[in-house]
Amino acid sequence: MANITSADQIKRDVSLVDLLAKLGHRPSYRSGKELFYKSMLREERTPSLCVNENLNVWFDHGGAGVSQKQGGNVIDFALAYWFPSDFGQVLKRISETMLLDLPANIQPASRPRKTTSQSEKLTNYKVTGIKEIGDNQKIKAYLKGRGIYEQAKGRIKEVYYEIVTGPKAGKSFFCAGWQNDLGSWELSNKGKHFKFKACLGRKGITTIAGSESRVTLFEGYMDYLSWLADNPKATDTVIVLNSVNLLDSALSKIASFPSVQAYFDRDRAGEKAFLQLKNVVPHAQDRSSLYRKYKDYNDLLISRPSQAVIYEESHIYEKMMSSFKR
């Protein structure tokens, strides 16, 4: 038996994937660093409970079960799985399942003070569907308008969700979305009279694994896809901050790479972020001069002449002649 001295040690050392295996649950499939299970917290047919094996956290995209917990660490999962058991009972069940030596006077887990931001407002929601892009014409038009529809295939999903409480309770919405490293959905959408960004769950960075010698950083996912349009064969490891305020959480990953390229926005926040990066990683390179006349990489991309226009002009004779055919 392993000796356990605190609940914090359980959070740190007990693998959620191993606990699920001990309980008889196997993942249906893997997507990158994420393992997807058919939720054991409620009835469902499509696997939507996601476990990030590296971070040892979980998130149920299908919504909260009877416990009203929808994600968190291994203890949060146990509280949801053995609901309505209390904290002490749950720790005992984990120790029995994982063959841990649990003392009677185990110390409770410390909980960091919760912070809030505008990007974390959507906490009263239920995800109702995740689909590949293509069917929703509004999302398709949005991505085409940003010039990255082809790059978005397989990298961005159609995310459908419903507000559960508050003045908008019962209303359904959809957005283009991608996951961050915590398994939450980062959202982006734009219409005629609105521009929308939010996060369903905990805000976090998004890491796309690649080369161990070169990492490329972006503030936003659309800038990453814009860069990918120009560099389709790139093998860099990519880190998308999803918010310039999350740079701190990425610095420990970045420092080990011999080559660090940053494509931050050309504004005060982007300049400040690069100076912060440079102080920690002196060999980091600022690549924003590539789009010196624009705010960011995506602005540069959509400023270019449309390939569709070029096609129309080069085939204008054929189109004119076809109109005369009987």
Q: Are 298 and 148 in contact (CB under 8 A)?
A: yes
Could you give the CA distance from residue 321 to residue 159 in angstroms, rounded to a whole number? 43
How are the residues of the chain apportioned to helix, strand and coil, as percentages rounded to the nearest 5?
Answer: 35, 25, 45
| The CATH number fitting domain 206-303, selected from 3.40.1360.10, 3.30.465.10, 3.30.413.10, 3.10.50.40 | 3.40.1360.10
The pLDDT value given to residue 103: 63
Task: Compute the average pLDDT of residues 138-143.
Answer: 95
The pLDDT value given to residue 322: 42
Q: What is the pLDDT of residues 59-109, one digit of tens each?
A: 887 777 778 788 888 999 999 999 888 888 888 899 889 888 766 555 444
What pairs with residue 176 in β-bridges?
A: 158, 188
The pLDDT value given to residue 166: 67
For tokens 């490329």, the residue is 216
pLDDT exceeds cutoff 60 at 173: yes
The pLDDT value given to residue 65: 75
Q: Are 299 and 308 in contact (CB under 8 A)?
A: no
Boundaries of every domain in the chain:
2-101, 118-200, 206-303
Burial degree of 277 (CB within 10 A; 0-12, 13-18, 19+) = buried
pLDDT band at residue 175 under the 50/70/90 scheme: very high
Pair of tokens at residue 145: 């308008």
Q: What is the pLDDT of residues 258-275, one digit of tens each?
A: 999 999 999 988 999 999
Q: Which class does domain 2-101 fall in? A: alpha beta
pLDDT exceeds cutoff 90 at 183: no
Q: Are 65 and 42 in contact (CB under 8 A)?
A: yes
pLDDT band at residue 111 under the 50/70/90 scheme: very low
The pLDDT value given to residue 198: 84
Could you give the CA distance from residue 177 to residue 284 in angstroms, rounded to a whole number? 29
Q: In terms of pLDDT, which residue wins out, 257 or 30?
A: 257
Give every CB contact of residue 89 below 8 A, 6+ residues apart in sequence: 82
pLDDT exceeds cutoff 80 at 194: no
Same topology for domains 2-101 and 206-303, yes or no? no
pLDDT exceeds cutoff 70 at 309: no
Give Rg (Cα) of the chain: 23
For tokens 């185990």, the residue is 106
Q: In terms of pLDDT, which residue wins out, 43 or 152?
A: 152
The pLDDT value given to residue 106: 55
| pTM of the complete model | 0.59
> Which stretch of 112-126, 189-203, 288-302 has the lowest confidence by average pLDDT?
112-126
The pLDDT value given to residue 167: 67
